[in-house]
Amino acid sequence: MHLFYTPDITLSAQQYTLSEEESKHCCRVLRLEAGDQIYLIDGKGGFFTGRIDEANPKRVKVEIVDKTEGYGKRNHYLHMAVAPTKNIDRFEWFLEKATEIGIDEITPLICDRSERKEVKIDRLNKVITSAVKQSVTAYHPVLNEPKRMKDLLSQDFSGQKFIAHCEEDAKQELRNTIHLKNQYLILIGPEGDFSTNEISQSLKSGFIPVTLGNTRLRTETAALEACFEVNFLHR
């Protein structure tokens, strides 16, 4: 299946022209020609079947022959706020795998003990887009700009809020706590964990402390575990 990410396509479109980057990939890498069938996604649930009318490396023109709205829509909304890892490859790995499993929104979270406080949003979005195409999903997760912990805690959120931390406090297992078909915001801290003050402030803001198992997980592993648990419970 040859899938292209086309965020500016409209549901009423009868024809569409691929961007120069996607056109080049279509013609020179995939070597597709006029008459070949391709698929387009808008990242908002639109899934389109198209037929190539003109195969030009700079502008591939496509006739839209079928479309589906809400393709693969899930019955819940998952927002993960995760501290970027010192080794950015690990954070990119999380973004790739979480996109494949199912996630709606990601916020890089800047904490007291964060070793990395800046990320390249454009690069990370490319990782997500590649994973969207590979997993054949019509929804492109939203990647927010990095946000400090205190700013995230001050935001309104309609749904359940969780924080996974390593301190020896009373915590519930995530899988026993979530209410199905809901919205979820889950906080995952940096390699050195959340500070005591951050944990205290999150609890005051209505976050439920949870555990993801008996072993201490790396940041990216904990984030993916939480993502998997939420999606598995909604199958």
Domains of the chain from N-terminus onward: 3-68 (2.40.240.20), 77-233 (3.40.1280.10)
8-35 pLDDT tens trace? 999 999 999 999 999 999 999 999 999 9
**C-alpha to C-alpha distances, 203 to 8, 10, 133, 142, nearest whole angstrom:** 40, 43, 38, 26
Calpha distance 81→85 (Å, rounded): 12
> If you ran DSSP here, which 8-state letter would residue 214 be given?
S
Question: What pLDDT does 169 receive?
Answer: 84
195-203 mean pLDDT: 97
For residue 51, how far is the Cα from the chain centroid?
Answer: 29
Calpha distance 174→194 (Å, rounded): 18
Question: What pLDDT does 32 receive?
Answer: 97
- Report the DSSP beta bridge partners of residue 38: 50
Residue with token string 């649930």: 45
Give the SS3 label for residue 193: coil
Question: What pLDDT does 46 receive?
Answer: 98
Query: Which residue did the predictor score with more confidence, 216 or 64?
Result: 64
Calpha distance 166→17 (Å, rounded): 50
